[in-house]
Amino acid sequence: MGTKDVCEKHLISLNDVFAEVWNFRSKVRIHPEALYEAPTEHITHAKHEYVHKYRDIFKYYRNELKLNIAVLGVENQTKPEKAMPARVMTYDALFYEDQFRHLRSGEKLIPVFTKVLYFGYHKRWTEPRSLSEQCRVPIEFADQFQDYRIEVVELAWLTDEEIDSLSGDLKVAAIFLRKLRLNEISEWPRLKIQHIDELLNLFTEITKQSEFQRMKSECAERKGEIMMCDVFENYKKDLISQGMTIGEERGEKRGIQIGEERGEKIGELNQLLVMTKRIMGKMGSTLEESMRYLQLTDAEKNLIRGAVGA
């Protein structure tokens, strides 16, 4: 499992953040205190061997009587995946199969629901969101086809109204990803951050920028509430400073490269000059005759003429 996957799971697995994911675009209000961990590993037997499937995040949702009334899953994605509808369908089906193995007489299955949380900000989710988009269903079977759809939440592409409907660290993440997408790294809102370590670890892995680890160290020294505007106020300065450092390093490397190239040319010129003078001395020929004898190019001849002042 990659570090980025772990960071995504760590943040979204926190009950308050998980509940916010599920409350987005939903008529049902999920309460964090009603969420309990569900097994993320599903095992099935196929071709004389056991196959393990692992979900990202999976939680039971319980009512006031502490009875499981639903199972909610979130799959985290940084890149669009073509097989996502079939993958989610497989996860859900395997959990239903697990329930059947332990189902008592008269009991009903607990319904399973899954959302896909997309962290990508370079491009939108372009892959299918349903099986019907990937199947060529004959017209005569169209009314019998059992479609399977997934809901994909594209955090970096939410509208102003959708972001306003969010709260907590999910809102902070959505604003940050959208600003990255639009290349807007200023005017950060005054939003309280609940889970600063988890959030900055995620931003570190998504962007591959070490500045967030420095921010995390600074936040550890602060007292009281941590606001998004305070944490990110120097983010633009950090990027400018980092850009200048990178520019200096690249300039230094380019200078060394140019120096080496010039050194090679000077070395080649000196070698040609020595060879030309040797021919002149041995054969008693003129400069032009010696250069013709060596079959020098016009450019090389001009360099030799310039070196000897001819």
DSSP secondary structure of 193-240: -S-HHHHHHHHHHHH--THHHHHHHHHHT--S--BHHHHHTTHHHHHH
- Residue with the bigger pLDDT between 260 and 272: it is 272
CB of 82 within 8 A of CB of 128? Answer: yes
- Residue with the bigger pLDDT between 9 and 236: it is 9
Q: Worst-scoring range by mean pLDDT, 77-81, 171-175, 286-290?
A: 286-290
CB of 37 within 8 A of CB of 73? Answer: no
User: How far, in Å, CA of 121 to CA of 185, rounded?
Assistant: 14
Neighbours of 253 (CB within 10 A): 10
> Per-residue pLDDT tens for 66-118?
999 999 999 999 999 999 999 999 999 999 988 988 899 989 999 999 999 99
| 3-class DSSP state of 290 | helix
Burial (CB count <10 Å: 0-12, 13-18, 19+), residue 173: buried
Residue in 82, 46, 61 with CA at minimum distance from that of residue 15: 61
What integer is the mean pLDDT of 20-33? 94
CB of 130 within 8 A of CB of 148? Answer: yes
pLDDT(155) > 90: yes
The predicted structure's pLDDT at residue 186: 79
The predicted structure's pLDDT at residue 179: 92
User: How far, in Å, CA of 221 to CA of 223, rounded?
Assistant: 7
User: How far, in Å, CA of 267 to CA of 264, rounded?
Assistant: 5
For 114, the token pair is: 């899954």
- Residue with the bigger pLDDT between 309 and 159: it is 159
**Confidence at 230, pLDDT banded by 50, 70, 90:** confident
| 3-class DSSP state of 107 | coil
Residue in 124, 126, 117, 122 with CA at minimum distance from that of residue 151: 117
Q: What is the DSSP letter of 262?
A: H
Angle between helices 3-12 and 196-207 (to 10 degrees): 150
**Cα 77 to chain center, whole Å?**
8
Which phi and psi angles does 174 have, rounded to 5°? Answer: -65, -40
For 173, the token pair is: 């993440």
The predicted structure's pLDDT at residue 11: 93
CB of 101 within 8 A of CB of 109? Answer: no
Q: Worst-scoring range by mean pLDDT, 1-10, 72-81, 149-158?
A: 1-10
> Per-residue pLDDT tens for 234-248?
676 655 555 444 444
The predicted structure's pLDDT at residue 215: 85
The predicted structure's pLDDT at residue 284: 76
Residue with the two structure tokens 């709260």: 167
For 164, the token pair is: 């306003």
pLDDT(271) > 50: yes
Looking only at the bridges linking them, the beta strands covering 41-46 and 35-37 are unpaired
pLDDT(263) > 60: no
